[in-house]
Amino acid sequence: MQTKGRSIVAAIAGAVGFAAAAMHIESSVAETRGPVTDPVGVVEIDKGEPLQIGVYQVLSGPDTANGVDQKRAIEIAFAERDNILVGHPVLLHIEDSQCTPEGGQTAATKLAAISDLVIVLGPSCSSEATAGAPILWNAGIPSIGTSTSAPRLTAPERGLEFAGFLRTSYNDNDVGSSAADWAYNVLGVRRATTIHDGSVYTEQLANVFAEQFTALGGTITSREAVSPTDSDMRPVLTRIAADAPELIFYPVFVNAAGHITRQAKEIDGLEETQLLGSDAVFTREMIVAAGRAVVGFSFVANALEPDALGEGYPAFVERYKQTYGEAPIQGSHHQAYDAASIAIAAIEKAAVTNDEGDTYIGRQALLDALYATRDHKGLTGILSCTEHGDCGHFNFAVYEFTNSDPESFSPGVNPKKVYP
Partner 1 sequence: MTEVLQATKSALLRLSPVGATLWIIRIGIIALLLWGVVGSIIANRYSAAQWGDFVVFGLAIGSIYALVALGYTMVYGVLRLINFCHGDIFMFGAFSAYFAAAPLARAGTLEEDPVLGLAAIFAVAMGISAGLALLVERVAYRPFRHVQSLAPLICAIGASFVIQQSARGLFGSTVKAYPEISWLQGDFSVLSWAVPKLQAIVFLAAVTVMLLLYLVVMRSKLGRAMRALAEDRDAAALMGIDIDRVIVFTFLLGGLTAGVAGVLYALIFTQVHFFMGFVPGIKAFCAAVLGGIGNIPGAMLGGLFLGTVESLGPALVLEGLNIPAPYQLRDAIAFVLLVLVLIFRPSGFLGERIQRRA
Partner 2 sequence: MSFEIVTTSFRAKVRRRSLPGLALACGAITAISACYVCLMGLAVMFNDRWIVSGVLSLGQLLVGMLPLACGCYLAVRASGRSARQILFAAAVAGTLAGGGLVALLLLGETTALRTIFVNASPALRKFLSFGLGPGLASLVLCSGAALLALSGAALCLARKRLRSALVAGFGTCLSVGLLQDLLRIFLDGEGLPKALREHLFDWQGLTWFAAIEFFAAAFLLRWIWPQLSQRLDTVAARRGSGFRRALRWGLIVASIAFVLLLPVLGGAFLGQVMMLVALFILMGLGLNIEVGLAGLLDLGFVAFFAIGAYVVALTTANSEFAVAALPFWLALPLAAIVAAAAGLLFGLPVLRVRGDYLAVATLGLGEIVRLLVISDTLKPLIGGAQGILGVPKPTLAGMTLASPSHLVYLSLAACLLVAYCAWRLQGSRIGRAWIALREDEDAAQALGLNLVGIKLLAYGLGAAFAGIAGGIFATMVGSVFPHSFQLIISINVLALIILGGLGSIPGVIVGALALVGMPELLREFGEFRFLFYGLVLVIMMRFRAEGLWPSRASRRSSAILEEPG
* CA distances for 28 relative to 31, 228, 242, angstroms: 9, 41, 59
DSSP letters along 42-97, please?
A: EEEE-TTPPEEEEEEE--SSTTHHHHHHHHHHHHHHHHTTTTEETTEEEEEEEEE-
b/e 139-176 (16+ beta carbons within 10 angstroms → b): bbbbbbbbbbbbbbbbeeebeeebbbbbbbbbbbbbbb
112 binds, among partner 1, partner 2, none (CB under 5 to 8 A by kind): partner 2
Question: Which of 337, 383, 324, 349 lies closest to 80 in space, CA to CA?
Answer: 337
258 binds, among partner 1, partner 2, none (CB under 5 to 8 A by kind): partner 1
Cis preceding-peptide flag for 101 (omega within 30 of 0): no
Among positions 105, 138, 219, 238, the unique one binding partner 1 when judged by CB under 8 A: 238
Say whether residue 99 binds partner 2 (CB under 8 A).
Answer: yes
User: Please, which of residues 166-195 interact with partner 2 by CB under 8 A?
Assistant: none
Say whether residue 62 binds partner 1 (CB under 8 A).
Answer: yes
Residue with Cβ nearer partner 1 (283 or 373): 283
Give φ, ψ of 57 to 5 degrees: -140, 170
Say whether residue 267 binds partner 1 (CB under 8 A).
Answer: yes
Q: Is 227 left (phi over 0), alpha (psi -120 to 50) or beta?
A: beta
Q: Whole-number minimum distance, CB 358 to partner 2, in Å?
A: 15
The answer to whether the CB of 69 falls within 8 A of the CB of 88 is: no
**Residues in binding contact with partner 2, number by CB under 8 A:** 57
* CA distances for 356 relative to 37, 46, 90, 353, angstroms: 18, 9, 19, 8
The answer to whether the CB of 102 falls within 8 A of the CB of 131 is: yes
Say whether residue 351 binds partner 1 (CB under 8 A).
Answer: no
Among positions 47, 81, 292, 321, the unique one binding partner 1 when judged by CB under 8 A: 292
* CA distances for 185 relative to 117, 274, 375, angstroms: 48, 15, 30
Among positions 44, 80, 181, 203, the unique one binding partner 2 when judged by CB under 8 A: 203
Q: Whole-number minimum distance, CB 182 to partner 1, in Å?
A: 24
Q: Whole-number minimum distance, CB 176 to partner 1, in Å?
A: 17
185 binds, among partner 2, partner 1, none (CB under 5 to 8 A by kind): none
Q: Which stretch binds partner 2 (CB under 8 A): 242-250, 322-330, 345-353, 359-367?
A: 322-330
Residues forming contacts to partner 2 in the complex (CB under 8 A) are: 3-4, 7-8, 11-12, 14-16, 18-19, 22-23, 25-26, 49-50, 59-61, 64, 68, 91, 93-96, 98-102, 105-107, 109-110, 112-115, 127, 130-131, 196, 198-200, 203-204, 223, 225, 227, 323-326
Residues forming contacts to partner 1 in the complex (CB under 8 A) are: 62, 64-65, 68, 198, 223-227, 229-232, 234-236, 238-239, 241-243, 254-255, 258-259, 262, 266-268, 285, 288-289, 291-292, 326, 329
